[in-house]
Amino acid sequence: MASAEVIDDPVRLSSVVDAWDALAVQLSAPYASPHWLLPWWRHVAPEWAKLYVVAVIDDAGELIGLGPWYLDARRGIGPRIRPLGADLCDWVGPLAQPGQKAIVAEQFARVFHDLRPRVSVISLEGRPSASSWGKDFEVTGRARSIHWRTEPALFIPLEGGTFNNWFMSKSKHFRQRMRKLRRDFEASGGTYRLADESSLDADLASFARLHRARWIERGRSNALRPGVNEMLLDAGRALVGSGRLRVWSLDIDGITVSSHVLVTAGRELGYWLTGFDEQRAPGSSLLGILHVIEDSFASGAARLDLGTGRLAYKQRFADAETDLVWEWVVPPGPQGYLLQGYLLQTQLAPQLLRKLASERLSRETKGRILKLMAKLPRGAGPSP
């Protein structure tokens, strides 16, 4: 008989870190590793958040499932459960050993049903549509799911392929441009370098410098919010030695002009973020992506995830896409329906308006709005 334990103490959490990480590796879920999420908790999590990790253990004492969550009690309608790392990465959510998903979902639902004060929402954010965790919660009879957002996630299948075959499958124009960028970069003395323990601090500092410089004209970067630098250093010290945090730097004359951060687990490579200096090295962003792809084929991984959104630069490289979904899991019955109306009004409607504005406004107008928002103190505006 499986049982669930709520872990709200970071010290107590250390006893399941190894098993948690092994589960993330087994499921090829890089952003769900404790070595990525616990640094987020230590350095980035809001001060009002309460750790709320749910571990599901079987009769043999083995970890068969884990919910990497925190409790957000700010909203007036009741506490909300959100994933650790929310708003900084997708693909984070419940983990379950193969064949144990129904049992794990039942234990999660029981824990949330018994929590007092009652949890109003379990937020499942940026999960693959095929994972169907919302439906698994519904099957327990203790909750109902509300799907409210879908975003495409682009990726490159790597398994059974080679970089050369992938490259030759691209258009002639693409191949010519990439070859020219590579020749020009190497003729200027450019080199490629992967971070190790000795270079990690300096390489992450270069990454942050390059990424922030891209956003000077558009306001601040939402990704490199306060604490993220420390988070990356913390995660890097745990992961860079094993190659599970990969920071590629493209250097010219000893100065990094393009930087690329990836997080890996199992057979999945997650391309998290990049920074580059197009003025000093035109095309260095595309060349860096190309080099990452070449390295990814050599790594033996099955897939390189390029993240959400059909951005033009991603479409140049990606070969496939999948849907990520956002769901709310709410209590069954009248309370759930009332809550659904409240959430649609206060959460979904503003997001639809922001999406509409993003599609209709010019780049210059959006830049001015972001600059104005950058002048606001943190927390003064609406929540993400």
- Summarised one tens digit per residue, pLDDT across range 274-303 is 999 988 999 999 999 999 999 999 999 999
Residue 13 maps to a domain: yes
> How high is the pLDDT of residue 380?
36
Residues 38 and 90 in one domain: yes
Domain that holds residue 275: 159-301
| Residue 137: strand, helix, or coil | helix
Residues 215 and 191 in one domain: yes
pLDDT classification of 372: cutoffs 50, 70, 90? low
Residues 100 and 178 in one domain: no
Q: Any idea what the CATH number is for the domain that residue 15 is in?
A: 3.40.630.30
Instruction: Quote the CA–CA distance of 288 and 44 in Å, as a whole number.
Output: 28
Residues 164 and 44 in one domain: no
| Whole-number Cα distances in Å, 100 to 20, 88, 380 | 15, 28, 43
Please count the structural domains in the chain: 2
Residues 138 and 203 in one domain: no
Q: Is the pLDDT of residue 249 over 80?
A: yes
Residue with tokens 């209709």: 360
Token readout for 165 is 């075959």
Residues 173 and 37 in one domain: no
Mean pLDDT of 49-77: 90
Residue 111 maps to a domain: yes
pLDDT classification of 378: cutoffs 50, 70, 90? very low
Mean pLDDT of 31-47: 96
Burial (CB < 10 A; 0-12, 13-18, 19+), residue 78, is: middle
- Residue 327 C-alpha from the chain's centroid: 16
Residues 164 and 289 in one domain: yes
Q: Is the pLDDT of residue 169 over 60?
A: yes
Residues 123 and 35 in one domain: yes
Residues 146 and 208 in one domain: no
Residue 379 maps to a domain: no
Nearest to 30, CA basis, from 230, 336, 303:
303
pLDDT classification of 100: cutoffs 50, 70, 90? very high
Mean pLDDT of 152-177: 96
- Is the Cβ–Cβ distance between 344 and 135 less than 8 Å? no
* Strand pairing class (144-157; 245-252): unpaired
Residues 285 and 189 in one domain: yes
Residue 259 maps to a domain: yes
- Is the Cβ–Cβ distance between 340 and 146 less than 8 Å? yes
Residues 64 and 190 in one domain: no
> How high is the pLDDT of residue 199?
98
pLDDT classification of 384: cutoffs 50, 70, 90? very low
Least confident of 15-19, 210-214, 302-306: 210-214
Mean pLDDT of 176-185: 96
Backbone angles phi, psi at 383, to 5 degrees: -70, 155
Q: Is the pLDDT of residue 58 over 90?
A: yes
Q: What is the mean pLDDT of the chain?
A: 87
- Residue 41 C-alpha from the chain's centroid: 14
Q: Is the pLDDT of residue 68 over 50?
A: yes
Q: Is the pLDDT of residue 118 over 90?
A: no
Residue 320 maps to a domain: no
Residues 232 and 288 in one domain: yes
Rank 112-116, 250-254, 330-334 by mean pLDDT and report only the highest. Answer: 250-254
pLDDT classification of 377: cutoffs 50, 70, 90? very low
- Residue 166 C-alpha from the chain's centroid: 25
pTM, to two decimals: 0.87
Residue 384 maps to a domain: no
